Amino acid sequence: MLNAMRDNPKRPPNWRWLRAVHIDGGGLRASRALDGPDGFTWIRRALRLKRHFEQANNRADALYATLYRDRALFWAHSIWADDKAPTRWAIEARILAGESDKEIAEKLGTNEEIVTAYANVFFDVREKIYNSDYIVNVVMGDAVTRGLQERHYDLLWKLLGYRGGAHALDAAINRFVDVPKPENAGGVSNFFQDVAINSMKYKAAIASLSIPVNTHTQLPLIDSFVKYVEIEKNSDNASKSQATIVENIGAMLSSLPFKVGTKLDSVAIKMLPFDDGAAELRNDEMMVIAAGGSLENQTLVQELRFPEKTDAGTK
């Protein structure tokens, strides 16, 4: 079983577990020289767990005894054995993102020892984390070259974690990118708007990674790329494009016949000169004043007053 040897350039991430299985079947015994000091320790520990599993033969009392002998490795094996479990995908992706066992355990709500056992027996990649070809071609496998789909969460999380780091991975797993909770009912609309924008950004990123190149997509992809290049060209560079948009929006707002108010420039204050007057403003006139505009003959309207009352009646 040469694929599970430590110095094999194509060794799988779970090579230590495979070595234990091979040894249990009569293969070459573990040694520090062959498997390294850490590998020797973890392979022997994995071998003991495998043999206890076989002896238990699915008997409840024996499985409990196996659990108590090595709780961390028992639960690590339980996670690894379920290859469709999001917990397994998350652990492996977070290891590739460079997170520590403690950080991963806190996010998963489990013990650090379980993550440590998993990383050492079932996903031993940390010493090769900077060997990018190994990570892409061996850890992620040929699915990268075949093409991705959004439903391939395990591979997408690994790829985003490895290339984008912990924060990008958090956003991919939780589907929310720095969207704060609304502090009151008035903030719900902005919350949904931020969620929609960030969700579209996420889906666009996934689409760019998963769209295959074939006779049906070649021309649309080229067309999209040309448009993107044109945007960069018109803005001199990519970093200036956002500033250009902001400047254009600011120029547009400044040219409007009204302005945006602030707390100090509130509607109530603007309406004060008309409160004691004799003229009643129409709805459209009130909107103009509230927006910071002015009325035709506004001074005359403000100066209109009711006749003063006297003891004998109205003058």
Q: Which pLDDT band holds residue 111 (cuts at 50, 70, 90)?
A: very high
Q: Provide the pLDDT for residue 286.
A: 72
Rg (CA), the chain: 33
Q: Are 39 and 33 in contact (CB under 8 A)?
A: no
Q: Provide the pLDDT for residue 200.
A: 80
Mean pLDDT, range 237-248, rounded to an integer: 62
Which residues are CB-contacts of 207 (< 8 A; sequence separation ≥ 6)?
none
Q: Which pLDDT band holds residue 263 (cuts at 50, 70, 90)?
A: very low
Tell whether the model's pLDDT for residue 134 goes beyond 70.
yes
| 158-167 residue pLDDT tens | 989 999 999 9
Is the pLDDT higher at 279 or at 102? Answer: 102
In 3-state terms the chain splits into helix, strand, coil percentages (rounded to 5) of: 65, 0, 35
Question: How many CB atoms within 10 Å of residue 185?
Answer: 7
Three-point CA angle 130, 145, 15, nearest 5°: 50
Tell whether the model's pLDDT for residue 240 goes beyond 70.
no
Q: Are 17 and 47 in contact (CB under 8 A)?
A: no
Of 154, 168, 153, the residue nearest 13 (C-alpha): 154
Of 76, 160, 77, 178, the residue nearest 152 (C-alpha): 160
Q: Provide the pLDDT for residue 120.
A: 97
Q: How far apart are CA 254 and CA 280, in angstroms?
A: 30
Q: How far apart are CA 120 and CA 16, in angstroms?
A: 8
User: Model's pTM, two decimal places?
Assistant: 0.68
Is the pLDDT higher at 206 or at 1? Answer: 206
Element (H, E) at 41: helix 37-56
Q: Which pLDDT band holds residue 238 (cuts at 50, 70, 90)?
A: low
Q: How far apart are CA 295 and CA 288, in angstroms?
A: 8
Can you read off the two tokens belonging to residue 119? 């990383």
Q: Provide the pLDDT for residue 262.
A: 47
Q: Provide the pLDDT for residue 190.
A: 85
Question: How many CB atoms within 10 Å of residue 171?
Answer: 19
Helices of type H across 57-151: 60-69, 71-81, 86-96, 101-108, 112-121, 132-134, 143-146
Measure CA 218 to chain center. Answer: 29
Mean pLDDT, range 110-129, rounded to an integer: 96
Proportion of the chain above pLDDT 70, given as a percent: 74
Is the pLDDT higher at 61 or at 177? Answer: 61
Is the pLDDT higher at 290 or at 21? Answer: 21
Tell whether the model's pLDDT for residue 17 goes beyond 90.
yes
Q: Provide the pLDDT for residue 236.
A: 58
| 180-230 residue pLDDT tens | 788 888 888 888 888 888 888 777 777 777 777 777 777 777 777 777 777
